[in-house]
Amino acid sequence: MQIDQLFQLMKDGTLETLYMVIVSTIIAYVIGIPTGVILFITDKNGISENSIVNKIVGVIVNLLRSVPFIILLVAILPFTRALVGTTIGSTATIVPLVVAAAPFVARMVESSLKEVDAGIIEAAQAMGSSNWQIITKVLLPEAKPSLIVGSTIAVTTILGYSAMAGFVGGGGLGAIAINYGYYRYQTNVMLVTVVLLVIVVQIFQEAGMKIAGKSDKRTR
């Protein structure tokens, strides 16, 4: 393969990966934050304790989380087709990525919220806050640094999942590694994709930690 061809391939692959990962992460958070909040507030001694809701949401989250991604990917192909009209390419990959990542994100959000001191919530209640005010003005802002750390972990996990999608016609660096490295024995191409993946993970990780550290007012 010509060097400029390889370069073009890698550039497209990287952009596709970034597209899949970033869009999936955003949608996973749009679903995962409310779900995590529901899990937290309906839990025992939560501000809106409701064991039935908590159990139902908890079971759905756990069910989705226990299916290995590569199986989930295949299992929901009909759903993916119904939603985006195709099962191949980066956009189609976003569907299973979100289905797999949203429950994971929900649990991460829940655990970040659990780190907020119960005393702070009690103080907010004593001041006459409604539950909505507690969620938006106390819980989420107080958990922000932890949520940001969680999101870097989520991005890394989703990036890993996105590579697996290469096996069933997903796009991105994962697909390149599988198509060239695995099916055509072009080890050098695979190596380049691995290096690129490592760099992408590093960038997300570093940026996430930096932002989390900056936004945390507890340590100075």
Partner 1 sequence: MIRFEHVSKTFQTSAGEVKALSDINLEIEDGSIFGVIGLSGAGKSTLVRCMNLLERPTEGSVFFHDTDLLSLKEAELRKQRRKIGMIFQQFNLLEQRTALGNVCYPLEIAGIKKKDAVKKAEELLKLVGLDNRMQSYPSQLSGGQKQRVAIARALATDPEVLLCDEATSALDPNTTRAILELLKDINAKLNVTIVVITHEMKVVEQICDEVAVIDHGIVAETGKVQDVFLKPKSQIARELIFPKRHEASTGTAKRILRLSFDGQKSSEPVISNLVMECQTAVNILGASTENIGGKAYGQMILELPEDEFKLAKVKSYLNEIGISYEEGETNAD
Q: Does 207 engage in binding with partner 1 (CB under 8 A)?
A: no
Cα–Cα distance, 17 to 203 (Å, whole number) = 14
From candidates 130, 187, 188, 202, binder to partner 1 by CB under 8 A = 130
Cβ–Cβ under 8 Å, residues 104 and 61:
no
From candidates 5, 44, 126, 183, binder to partner 1 by CB under 8 A = 126
Least distance in angstroms from the C-beta of 124 to partner 1 = 8
Cα–Cα distance, 14 to 20 (Å, whole number) = 10
Q: Does 199 engage in binding with partner 1 (CB under 8 A)?
A: no
Q: Does 149 engage in binding with partner 1 (CB under 8 A)?
A: no
Least distance in angstroms from the C-beta of 49 to partner 1 = 13
Cα–Cα distance, 73 to 36 (Å, whole number) = 23
| 124 vs 200 by CB, closer to partner 1 | 124
Residue range at the interface with partner 1 (CB under 8 A); choices 102-110, 116-124, 157-165, 173-181: 116-124
CA-CA-CA-CA torsion sign (207, 213, 214, 220): negative
Residues in contact with partner 1, counted by CB under 8 A, come to a total of 25
From candidates 129, 156, 179, 205, binder to partner 1 by CB under 8 A = 129
Q: Does 147 engage in binding with partner 1 (CB under 8 A)?
A: no
Least distance in angstroms from the C-beta of 158 to partner 1 = 27
Cα–Cα distance, 161 to 168 (Å, whole number) = 12
Q: Does 148 engage in binding with partner 1 (CB under 8 A)?
A: no
Residues 6 or more apart from 169 whose CB is under 8 A from it?
87, 88, 89, 92, 175
Reduced to 3 states, what is the DSSP secondary structure of residue 94? helix
Cα–Cα distance, 141 to 3 (Å, whole number) = 48
Q: Does 44 engage in binding with partner 1 (CB under 8 A)?
A: no
Least distance in angstroms from the C-beta of 107 to partner 1 = 22
* Pick from 183, 160, 206, 194: nearest CA to 10: 194
Residues 6 or more apart from 210 whose CB is under 8 A from it?
none
From candidates 141, 182, 184, 187, binder to partner 1 by CB under 8 A = 141
Q: Given the rule CB under 8 A, which residues bind partner 1?
A: 117, 119-120, 122-130, 133, 137-138, 141-142, 144-145, 215-220
